Structure 1
Amino acid sequence: MRVQLLVAVSAVALLSACATTKGIDSPAAPQSAPPPAVAQQETSAALHALFKESDEDSLRRNPINALFRGDMRYADQLGDNISDAYFNAERAAGEKDLAALGRIDRATLSTTDQLAYDIFKWQTELALRSLSAEILPLNVVRPIDHFTGIHVFYPDLASGQSAAPYKTVKDYLDSIARHHRYAWYIDATIGRFRQGMAAGVVQPKLVVRNVIDQLDRQLAEGVEGSTMYAPLKAFPADIPSADQARLRAETAAVLRDEIFPAYQRLRDFLSKEYLPAAREGVGLVHMKGGLKLYSYLIEQNTTLPLSADDVHNLGLSEVARIHREMETIKTQTGFKGTLPEFFEFLRTDAKFRPASKIALRDEYYAIGKRVDARVGEIFSTLPKTPLEIRPVPEYREKNDAGGSYMQGAPDGTRPGVFYYNTYDLPSRSTWGQETLYLHEGAPGHHFQISLAQENAALPNFMRFGGNTAYVEGWALYAETLWDELGMETDPYQRFGGLNDEMLRAMRLVVDSGIHAKGWTRDQSIKYMLDNSSMGKTDATSEVERYIAMPGQALAYKIGQLKILELRAKAEKALGARFDLKEFHGQVLMTGALPMNILEQKIERWIASKG
């Protein structure tokens, strides 16, 4: 409301000024246009007022986004994002924003504001497509899976180790209020699943069984063993004991009487009603409307208009290229067998297995220190947000990736976290540690996300928004900086880097294979084992992730290749004047850009260098 009021006042002031001018000159006299600098200032003000108003409205509709920013205004709310009313509100907001954007003259904006204009337009149009009558009915009736469901996200949020703080009595009361809403949300997912059954749009049986397994594990924890109960075990010292007892009792009650019964209802529904109706085929090609949805998901995740065949063929080409580099490293190690035999050697030899969970952790600590010592050589701006290294929580480690990242608070009060997975420790490989840290930690996700969040000069949708191709493309590009950072000097670690790059190339083949060409789960796992030294546990988790999240895994390689292409273009054009620090600043310091907009920005930068 405040932004709307300011815009209204500005408009009245401008109309009054025009009226005064007409009174001085003759009524028929043409009005002179404001000087270009004044016009640009006024248009820029209107643009940023739109950004601010849109962001404020979005935070009210999506309170968890505010919580992750450290904005506590809506901390007692979980939000909706599952009802028809929510989706109607999102659609109306997007249409309103586009209409307001259309009234702003892009040509009068500065280059920086034009960049923001283009990103806002692209993001809003893409969001509206996801809310269309073509796409939304194919997604909304499959509300959770074993990778992205709220039943996986929420316990972590409520654990005391995530964005939700547990420092004051109000923080605990806010958590209890969110718990009540969470129980409602779990029941709402059952309603959406029933809609899907009626429409013939359902999840694969594999995904349903994995969700049931996750629910069983959370139910088996019991109230006091639950991750959501953890903040009650270590209160801040300044919370009075009487308040502690009350908060403990109220939290236990909502877990026992609302959340766990909702879990049980969902578990029973999935096992008794939904599982028999779920589909056997794991890919979207087997789902009603699935190919249409997959086409949209390719563009959503890569930001480019690629077909499934484009993606598949690019993946095959990259797999072949990386194989050639792997052969070179194999020769350097002195191994005499074939590449598949070398894969098996790396997969099974005891010297590549972590001695313990502690040893795995300590090596990540050591890697982090080595990166910190060199990273300032190729980056002019470093994040202020600290980075912590933690194991994946036990309740979700079985189905989690080998590594992941959770963003910190924009003001640095909550660190970014690099999570490494210790599940099935004998399947973990020490030769993959350096490249995993570069991707998830520094200079990968931690740098990209933190530098954007910390840049208060950016509008909030650029500080906190993004797209998968940029976010994951940057992290995979960060893996290619091993040489500049003095990493992967050991040939086995270098092979680990190639193995991770191979993973991202195989994703193009396997994801499109599953969802457009009818590949099975076992066929996909075999392809990954045949073409890399991944362990079977990791390969299985990866394939089941692609099944649950169609298209997401395509973003990594597509984004990385675009950033590498732009770096090569800049190096060729600028020659000795190319500055890697400056290039990284151009890529990173305006938030996550769609690939075509990033390309336009880098081309303008090259041209500005003469």
Structure 2
Amino acid sequence: MSLRKTLYAALLAAAVPLPAFSQALPPPTPLPGDSAEDMKLKKLFYDSDEASLKRNPVSAIFRGDLRYADQLGNWFTREQLMAEKAATEADLRALAAIDRSKLTHVDQIAYDVFKNQNEVGLRGYAPELLPLLELRPLDHFYGIHTFYPDFAGGQGGAPFKTLVDYENNLKRGPQYAAALDRAIGLFRQGMARGIVQPKLVVRNMIEQFDNILKQGVETSVFYGPVQKFPEGISPADQARLKTAYAAQIRDVLQPAHQRMRDFLANEYLPKARDTVGLSALPGGDKLYAYLIESNTTLPLKAADVHQLGLNEVARITREMEAQKGKVGFKGTLAEFFTHLRTDKKFQPTSAEQLRLEYEAIGRRVDSRVREQFSLIPKTPLEIRPVPAYKEKTEAGGSYMSGTPDGSRPGVFYYNTYDLPSRYMWEMETLYLHEAAPGHHFQISLAQENEALPAFMRFGGNTAYAEGWGLYAETLWQELGMETDPYQRMGGLNDEMLRAMRLVVDTGIHSKGWTRDQAIKYMLDNSPMGESDATAEVERYIAIPGQALAYKIGQLTISKTKAEAQQALGAKFDPRAFHAQVLDTGALPMPVLESKIAAWVAGVKAK
């Protein structure tokens, strides 16, 4: 597991697909054509995954594996980091002892993915990078407090089906409180070394903890599991559990939240920095270079990414001008943006209206999607609003994976905070990205493919995952979406967002841009609302480099498609192309390019 995933393991696990089992995966068995070398590789993958699940029990729970479900893991400890580093080094040594040339084609792909992920992950433990990550253990986007309330409250990956599930959750509660206290210790070490979060990140975290604290006890999200019990739990146990959950919230969880909140407000905020970019930290430029590669899977330079973004912004601007003409708007593009932001006909009148419209969009996509896809997930998809306690800092839409047996569906979350800013013209493209055929297809098809090793079913990289989501948006025409010019503007607006991310993320972290400068750039170049622009910029500040992966991944997938179309001509079948992209899980971009090239060669040879 990479350092970044170690530090944020549980949050990242929330985006990792889940299989339908509650115990260990069985050891690998040979497939037709497997050699002894293939079985050595599969045994390595299996052993590595088993050891990782034991070290990271929350990741196991998100996977549906409950063997360690009474444990939270050694969050925010040096022992955990060093164990992850040692495991990565051992995995690479074992991989080097396997002869790649003797593997099947699929296992060669798996070999390459495993090698790439572990080599990039290992570089994150370099002495000049480790403190910059370790001593900033929480932010408002990636932090244990951003997922654990839902997780422990019955709205996340933890099951509440049996008495043991309820007891396990009680056992994890004090471990969560202890992890928050350890995070305070790491923050203090960072204060002593001048490695601190920006003030705006700290203020956002304080607000998050305030929101949790003001819930009280019996109205707390943590009390959710005992508000309604499944069958099979006796009335006596129900009464006992209600008392125990209330006591833990009152005496353990809320005091831990209060300690963190008070520390952040009284000690840390005065020492936090006014700057927002990584370049302001000692060694921040080296960390940013690493984060660019770990997120995009490509060794790109910040200056080149910035210029690529500027080029894309210019191209998309020209297409926006064309849509403005189609609707007969006579003003400037900036005035058209203002029209899109402010005309009440584009603003939903209720959260219910958003729900109904998203459900209608889903039905329309379903009616056309088989024209482009031969692989359709078995995992069901649900549409839900973002929980109120975290809606202010969440994106306009997001996805949480489900289980392939249907015991937990995939979920597309839409945000109803600041309702007038949730413009109706952005709904179709948002659904394509987050739901179908975006993340729901990409994640579910990987988890449902039992032939893949676990790290490819349940792991991944941002460039592939988010690149696919953005690529899914580009299929609007093939899927009968965005026939209305305003909806097409929504698609262009989302594409513009990903292009602007290349400019703004690099601007903030390598060119010294301020928060307000970045927000202004986004408002000047798109019709997005100020709430969205602010949340986006503050996200880039909190998690540098992640936002670059969307556009880089999409451009890579689109490039391989264009090359395949040119090479195959009439033989090109989009359903077969999409199956090739999706049927082996999330690949690093170089591995994906090699796979598609080999597929094209095979089709041409037929």
- Give TM class, smaller chain: over 0.9
Within 1, Cα distance between the matches of 2:495 and 2:240? 52
Q: CA 1:127/1:81 → structure 2, altered by over 3 Å: closer, same or farther?
A: farther
8 Å Cα contact 1:68-1:409 kept in structure 2: no
Q: TM-score, normalised by structure 1?
A: 0.93
Within 2, Cα distance between the matches of 1:427 and 1:381? 35
Of 365, 369, 380, which residue of structure 2 is paired with 1:371? 365
**Offset of 1:238 from its aligned partner?**
2.7
8 Å Cα contact 1:70-1:410 kept in structure 2: no
Within 2, Cα distance between the matches of 1:244 and 1:276? 45
Q: Which has the larger radius of gyration?
A: 1
Match of 1:56 in 2: 50
**Counterparts in 2 of 1:251-400, with a 5 A limit?**
251-400=245-394
**Offset of 1:69 from its aligned partner?**
1.4
Of 481, 485, 495, which residue of structure 2 is paired with 1:491? 485
CA deviation profile, 1:151-204 (whole Å, cap 9, x unmatched): 111011122122111111111101111111111111010011011111111100
* Partner SS state of residue 471, structure 1: helix
Verify: 1:97 aligned to 2:81, yes or no.
no
**Offset of 1:226 from its aligned partner?**
1.2
Within 1, Cα distance between the matches of 2:398 and 2:469? 11
Match for 1:57: what amino acid?
A: A
Match of 2:190 in 1: 196
Of 516, 537, 549, which residue of structure 1 is paired with 2:510? 516
Within 1, Cα distance between the matches of 2:280 and 2:150? 32
Match of 2:524 in 1: 530
8 Å Cα contact 2:121-2:294 kept in structure 1: no
**Runs (5+) with no aligned partner, structure 1:** 11-36
Match for 2:466: what amino acid?
A: E
Match for 2:260: what amino acid?
A: L
CA deviation profile, 1:94-143 (whole Å, cap 9, x unmatched): 11111111111111112111110010011111221122222221101000
Within 1, Cα distance between the matches of 2:515 and 2:44? 46
Q: Tell me which protein shows more helix as a share of its residues.
A: 1
Within 1, Cα distance between the matches of 2:126 and 2:49? 21
Match for 1:592: what amino acid?
A: A
Within 1, Cα distance between the matches of 2:241 and 2:578? 48
Match for 2:369: what amino acid?
A: V
Of 589, 592, 599, which residue of structure 2 is paired with 1:598? 592
Match of 2:19 in 1: none
Say how many residue pairs are matched.
Answer: 577
**Offset of 1:411 from its aligned partner?**
3.0
Within 2, Cα distance between the matches of 1:132 and 1:417? 37
Within 2, Cα distance between the matches of 1:593 and 1:64? 24
Match for 1:557: what amino acid?
A: K
* Partner SS state of residue 404, structure 1: strand
Of 538, 545, 552, which residue of structure 2 is paired with 1:551? 545
Within 1, Cα distance between the matches of 2:278 and 2:503? 15
Within 2, Cα distance between the matches of 1:367 and 1:429? 15
Within 1, Cα distance between the matches of 2:76 and 2:111? 29
CA deviation profile, 1:60-81 (whole Å, cap 9, x unmatched): 0011111111111111111123
Within 1, Cα distance between the matches of 2:154 and 2:515? 36
Match of 1:75 in 2: 69
Within 1, Cα distance between the matches of 2:587 and 2:129? 23
Within 2, Cα distance between the matches of 1:232 and 1:289? 48
Within 2, Cα distance between the matches of 1:70 and 1:360? 31
**Offset of 1:276 from its aligned partner?**
1.1
Of 491, 500, 524, which residue of structure 2 is paired with 1:506? 500
**Runs (5+) with no aligned partner, structure 2:** 1-23
Match of 1:224 in 2: 218
8 Å Cα contact 1:163-1:409 kept in structure 2: no
8 Å Cα contact 1:473-1:557 kept in structure 2: yes
Identity across matched positions, percent: 65
Moved more, 575-584 or 90-99: 90-99
CA deviation profile, 1:247-298 (whole Å, cap 9, x unmatched): 1111111111111111111111111111111111011111122111101000
Of 40, 50, 53, which residue of structure 2 is paired with 1:46? 40
Of 428, 431, 455, which residue of structure 2 is paired with 1:434? 428
Match of 2:4 in 1: none
Q: Which runs of 4+ in 1 moved over 3 A?
A: none
Within 1, Cα distance between the matches of 2:75 and 2:125? 12
Of 80, 85, 90, which residue of structure 2 is paired with 1:86? 80
Within 2, Cα distance between the matches of 1:470 and 1:411? 25
8 Å Cα contact 1:146-1:210 kept in structure 2: yes
* Partner SS state of residue 435, structure 1: helix
Match of 2:172 in 1: 178
Match for 1:498: what amino acid?
A: L
Match of 2:578 in 1: 584
Within 2, Cα distance between the matches of 1:415 and 1:75? 21
RMSD: 1.4
8 Å Cα contact 2:378-2:404 kept in structure 1: no
Of 124, 131, 134, which residue of structure 2 is paired with 1:137? 131
**Offset of 1:312 from its aligned partner?**
0.4
Within 1, Cα distance between the matches of 2:217 and 2:209? 13
* Partner SS state of residue 225, structure 1: coil
8 Å Cα contact 1:281-1:520 kept in structure 2: yes
**Offset of 1:389 from its aligned partner?**
0.3
Match of 2:472 in 1: 478
Within 2, Cα distance between the matches of 1:197 and 1:332? 55
Within 2, Cα distance between the matches of 1:429 and 1:150? 31
* Partner SS state of residue 217, structure 2: helix
Match for 2:162: what amino acid?
A: T
Match of 1:14 in 2: none
* Partner SS state of residue 593, structure 1: coil
